[in-house]
């Protein structure tokens, strides 16, 4: 469904290898993930934790993205206190139809309170710092 390709030196991206319909699950981000108490350049914020996932870390920002991060509750315990204890399914879902070869992106400001490494986006040169900035 997707592949990771080099965009330029030091930068990777996630690209569709087949057409993906709007609403389709692209990546189960909660599988094979590590949760950290602080943000990194490649982490995705889930509640008050920061998920590290290889494909998620290769998914670039766009202000008009092709995908979105969706958190689906799957409660597995009596009194869960954290995302992993709740068994949250963190998914990258197609926000629109994505064509073969198109880069799969999401808007970092929809998940991150504060980015570990703010940057000027390629969309229109606005600083991307996180929701709280």
Residue 85: per-residue pLDDT: 56
Fold adopted by 2-128:
Beta-clip-like (2.170.270)
> Could you tell me the pTM of the whole model?
0.88
Mean of the per-residue pLDDT values for the chain? 90
Percent of the chain with pLDDT over 70: 88
CA angle 82, 88, 34 (to 5 degrees): 70
pLDDT in tens, 71-92: 887 655 455 555 555 567 899 9
What percent of the chain stands above pLDDT 90?
74
What pLDDT digit, counting tens, does each position of 19-46 carry?
999 999 999 998 888 999 999 999 999 9
Q: How far is CA 87 from CA 15, 84, 101, 103, 114, in A?
A: 28, 5, 33, 29, 24
Q: What angle do CA 84, 36, 6 make, to 5 degrees?
A: 105
Q: What is the DSSP letter of 27?
A: E
């Amino acid at each position: 469904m997707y592949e990771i390709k080099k965009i330029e030196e030091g930068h990777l991206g996630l690209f569709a290898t087949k057409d993906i319909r709007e609403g389709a699950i692209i990546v189960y981000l909660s599988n094979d993930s590590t949760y950290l108490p602080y943000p990194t350049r490649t982490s995705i914020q889930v509640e008050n934790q920061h998920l590290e996932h290889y494909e998620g870390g290769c998914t670039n920002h766009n202000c008009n993205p092709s995908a979105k991060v969706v958190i689906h509750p799957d409660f597995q315990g009596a009194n869960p206190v954290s995302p992993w204890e709740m068994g949250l399914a963190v998914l990258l879902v197609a926000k629109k139809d994505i064509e073969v070869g198109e880069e799969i992106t999401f808007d970092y400001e929809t998940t991150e309170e504060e980015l570990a490494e703010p940057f000027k986006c390629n969309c229109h040169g606005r600083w991307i710092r996180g929701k709280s900035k």
